[in-house]
Amino acid sequence: MKGQEWYQQETVVEDYEDKRFSRGGGRLTDRLEKEAVLDGLEPVDGKRVLEIACGTGRFTVMLAECGADITGLDISEPMLQEGREKAQRAGVADTVEFMRGDAARLPFPDDHFDVVYGIRFFHLMDTPEEYLAEMCRVSSEQVFFDTYNRYSGRSLYNWALPMGSRLYSRSEVESLLSGAGLELAGERHEFVVPFGLYRKLPGGVAGAFRALERTIQRTPLGDPLASISYWNARVA
Ligand SMILES: C[S@@+](CC[C@H](N)C(=O)[O-])C[C@H]1O[C@@H](n2cnc3c(N)ncnc32)[C@H](O)[C@@H]1O
């Protein structure tokens, strides 16, 4: 499993949001990812929700603000601490719980949540079937996650990343879902321009790339070229 030690380092944690989401194209990707998560999960008001590998709580806090009764679980205590501070600033510290744990062994009984999701996590896994089975076990209704796509711009610069990423084809995802007893209920494909490149662009240039991307997305090439896919599955 990649990333377990990486995200324990203080400098990595301090830089996590600043490097990726605080400027120009990075801010745009943060907004687009949040849109994709809301699109896949809403309505969440009153639902019991678990986010695995929640990191600094970007989505956890957003969903608490939407009325979810939410738990964020991550293996890195420094990432969780960032999440707790974010929840405090947003005034939702009472409705969100951040908990240290390993997503391979979720400390909850079967069907404990209505919804279980994880974002920017499946690319770190060596054994995705094991993690998906755990997500499925503790969810009574819905499981939602994203994958980095094998046949996309993502594969072009994967070699340059410190950990590399596991990439998935559509058929691999389908077989993972059916192996876990999940039914695909919806999907969304985004980022023809991989978000690692987006974040290096100033806001105006990123906006122009986004406009171009939206034009491509409306063509038959849009979905196959997307570097990220969001998978919305129902517990069968
Ligand atoms: C790329 S970050 C994504 C964080 C967050 N989901 C986001 O999109 O901003 C990956 C996260 O996975 C966490 N992680 C890695 N292995 C884990 C495991 N076995 N169980 C729980 N969390 C894990 C890391 O600590 C890190 O916070």
| 29-81 confidence digits (pLDDT tens) | 999 999 999 999 999 999 999 999 999 999 999 999 999 999 999 999 999 99
Q: Strand 139-148 to strand 228-235: parallel, antiparallel, or no bridges (unpaired)? A: antiparallel
Average of per-residue pLDDT across 186-199: 88
Cβ-based neighbour number of residue 230 at 10 Å: 21
Local structure of residue 68 (DSSP, 8 states): -
Q: For residue 22, what pLDDT is reported?
A: 83
Taking only the tens place, the pLDDT of each residue in 99-122 is 999 999 999 999 999 999 999 999
Q: At 38, list the tokens.
A: 């809301």
The rounded Å distance from CA 208 to ligand 1 centre is 31
Range of the domain at 55: 4-235
Regarding predicted confidence, which is higher, 157 or 162?
157
**Mean pLDDT estimate for the chain:** 92
Judge whether residue 23 has pLDDT over 70.
yes
Closest CA to 81 of 101, 99, 59, 63: 99
Question: Is any ligand 1 atom within 6 A of the Cβ of residue 194?
Answer: no
Q: Tell me which residue has its CA closest to atom 14 in ligand 1.
A: 53
> Which domain CATH number covers 224?
3.40.50.150
Closest CA to 104 of 66, 140, 74: 74
The rounded Å distance from CA 46 to ligand 1 centre is 25
Q: To the nearest 10°, the Cα dihedral for 138, 180, 62, 185?
A: -120
**In ligand 1, which atom is closest to the CA atom of 53?**
22
Q: For residue 161, what pLDDT is reported?
A: 66
Judge whether residue 154 has pLDDT over 90.
no
The rounded Å distance from CA 119 to ligand 1 centre is 8
Our count of domains for the chain comes to 1
Q: What is the CA radius of gyration of the chain?
A: 17
Q: Please state, in angstroms and rounded to a whole number, the distance separating the CA atoms of residues 153 and 140.
A: 35
Question: Is any ligand 1 atom within 6 A of the Cβ of residue 64?
Answer: no
In DSSP terms, 71 is beta-bridged to: 50, 97
Judge whether residue 153 has pLDDT over 80.
no
Q: For residue 159, what pLDDT is reported?
A: 66
Q: Please state, in angstroms and rounded to a whole number, the distance separating the CA atoms of residues 188 and 174.
A: 14
Q: Please state, in angstroms and rounded to a whole number, the distance separating the CA atoms of residues 144 and 149.
A: 16
* For helices 24-41 and 58-65, angle between their N-to-C axes, nearest 10 degrees: 50
Question: Is any ligand 1 atom within 6 A of the Cβ of residue 144?
Answer: no
Taking only the tens place, the pLDDT of each residue in 70-101 is 999 999 999 999 999 999 999 999 999 999 99
Taking only the tens place, the pLDDT of each residue in 119-152 is 999 999 999 999 999 999 999 999 999 999 988 8
pLDDT bracket for residue 2 (50, 70, 90):
low
Which strands form 48-52's sheet, in the order they lie side by side? 96-100, 69-74, 48-52, 113-118, 139-148, 228-235, 182-190
Q: Please state, in angstroms and rounded to a whole number, the distance separating the CA atoms of residues 141 and 6.
A: 32
